[in-house]
Structure 1
Amino acid sequence: MELTFSLRRREVVEVQPMVSEVQQRWPALFSCEEISEEFRRITSKDLLETFNASLDKYVPRLLRLYRTRKGALGQQMEDILDKLDEQTSDILSHRKTAALRCLPVFVRDDTTKFFLQPLETDPDERVLRGVSVGLLAVREDDPAVSPNVRDWAVVLEGSIVLHDLPDLGTAFAYLFGLLYAMNIDYPKEMRYTFEAIQTIFFELGSQCSQRTRSLKTKLLL
């Protein structure tokens, strides 16, 4: 994969093939290890290490920021933060999940077709219809009995391209890495969320919207 990087990058950028075509031509690119390596080749940054370090740094600040605006950002923000307050175990993991779930709400993105929570018996064709870029939290058939997520998965162009991921943070990182590897534009409904991850979490690029600059300024106060 290292030897064929230049050829693959030229194809992806110039030809802009469908994800399914890239999967057929470069199947190894859709493994966790190669997603990280491709991201390193493009950006010179370690995908998971950089993302997790930024989470550790910004989660406390993000949660404080969310709580100061909790009442003004609607029921979705309140529900996520209230659920976080109810947790009694694995608090750090729940705090990271809440910080990522609330980020699109804070920057006023639309997560309707991004964060999906199907049951494991729900047919893929129904769940994935109309989803260009998304994350799946596949839950047990009876969430009242077992509300735990059985599988985190990454969706591109209406198909699951990566699954069996341990948590939302890992799924988010690999999705971001795939968007870079595939040279895919951020979905317009989630533009500001991905822009924040790019410029704040990964410190990539200097150009961003006023909305993202505002968030970055608030996090540095």
Structure 2
Amino acid sequence: MDLTFSLRRKEIVEEQPMVMEVQKRWPALFFKEQICEEFFHITNKDLLGTFRTAVDKYTPKGAFGKEMEDVLDKLDDETSNIVRHRKDAALRGLPVFLREEPMDLFKQCLESDPEDGATNGVAVGILFVLEDGVAPTSSAMVQNIAVILEETIVLEEVPDLPSALAYLFGLLYALNISSPKTLKYTFDTFQHLFMEIGSDCTQRVRSLQNKLLL
């Protein structure tokens, strides 16, 4: 894949193929390790390492600002893995702080639901597959975390939400796909705040950064 990077990049940028076409042409590009390699070739950044470090930096207590503390304290009672649970909850609540809609990014379905029903109409998203017949407060309810692009699940069995968001961000770069306009500030946060790519950070994201560092 390293030897064909230039050819692959030229095809993707100039021809702008659909995701399914890229999957057929370059199936290895959708392996977890290769997503990281491709992102490094493009940005010279460690995808997973940089993203996870940013999550730790900006959520020292697992919360994006003081406003979420009461909510997260309640959620702590529902799981034994408090650190992971609070980070996941904070990431899922990030669009709220940026005045965007979390459901535009995060989807969920049951194991028994048809796959196409969960991905229909989803251009960019993270899918939580929930165990059938389990109460919503159960820490075991999430059976699979998947990445959706152009109504297609392109990556499954991701171990946690920070990794899923990092892989999604990396795939957008690898496939030269623009982030959804409805999630402009959420992805600006990932790009400028988490990954430290580019300098044209929006005022809304700067304001969020100041709050997170209080």
Same fold (TM over 0.5): yes
Q: Following superposition of structure 1 onto structure 2, how do residues 1-221 of structure 1 map, counting pairs within 5 Å?
A: 1-60=1-60, 63=63, 65=65, 67-68=66-67, 81=72, 83-144=74-135, 147-221=140-214
- Per the normalisation by structure 2, the TM-score is 0.92
Which runs of 5 or more structure 2 residues have no equivalent in the other structure? none
Question: SS state of the match for residue 173, structure 2?
Answer: helix
1:156-184 alpha-carbon deviations (Å, 9 max, x no partner) = 00010000111111111111110110111
Contact 2:19 2:149 in 1 (8 A): yes
Percent identity between the two aligned chains = 57
How many aligned residue pairs are there? 212
Structure 1 position 83, deviation (Å) = 4.5
Question: SS state of the match for residue 126, structure 2?
Answer: strand
Question: SS state of the match for residue 196, structure 2?
Answer: coil
Which runs of 5 or more structure 1 residues have no equivalent in the other structure? 71-76
Structure 1 position 212, deviation (Å) = 1.0
For 1:28, give the aligned amino acid: A
For 1:130, give the aligned amino acid: G
- Taking the aligned partners of 1:61 and 1:215, their CA distance within structure 2 comes to 16
- Per the normalisation by structure 1, the TM-score is 0.89
For 1:209, give the aligned amino acid: T
- Taking the aligned partners of 2:37 and 2:74, their CA distance within structure 1 comes to 36
- Taking the aligned partners of 1:62 and 1:128, their CA distance within structure 2 comes to 29
- Taking the aligned partners of 2:127 and 2:195, their CA distance within structure 1 comes to 23
Question: SS state of the match for residue 156, structure 2?
Answer: strand
